[in-house]
Amino acid sequence: MTATVIALLSIWLGIFGGLSYSLFNKNTEIYYIKRIIVGVFGSIFFIKALSKLGFTPFDILANGSISIPLLILNFTVSFLGGLVAVFVLRKVERKVGFG
């Protein structure tokens, strides 16, 4: 598994996190495409913002083998990044008056 594959899986988990927002909030009006885009950006933002903690794809593969705890942490942060980004978008839309 290369660092590129780990990064792509992280982005997919961010998309899944953004789409899973509707599981927690039944009366959502955010469209699927918007959730996908915001999930991608939320995932990337969270990974970049927290990358100094040492769970980037290159840190996961640092010793020539895969560090499973760092991989799980990376995937969890990506999922939560997509979920939180859609949540924040929904709050901003309500505040502005779009939703």
Residue 15: alpha-carbon gap to chain centroid = 6
SS (H, E, C) 33-82: HHHHHHHHHHHHHHHHHCHHHCCCHHHHCCCCCCCHHHHHHHHHHHHHHH
Top pLDDT among 75 and 94 is at: 75
Instruction: Report the alpha-carbon distance of residue 53 to residue 57 in Å, rounded.
Output: 12
Predicted local distance difference test score (pLDDT) of residue 24: 75
pLDDT in tens, 9-49: 999 999 999 888 877 776 666 678 888 899 999 999 999 89
**What type of residue is 30?**
I
* Residue 90 reports pLDDT greater than 70: yes
Percentage of the chain exceeding pLDDT 90: 38
Q: Tokens for 66?
A: 């895969």
pTM as predicted: 0.86
Residue 25: alpha-carbon gap to chain centroid = 18
* Residue 96 reports pLDDT greater than 70: yes
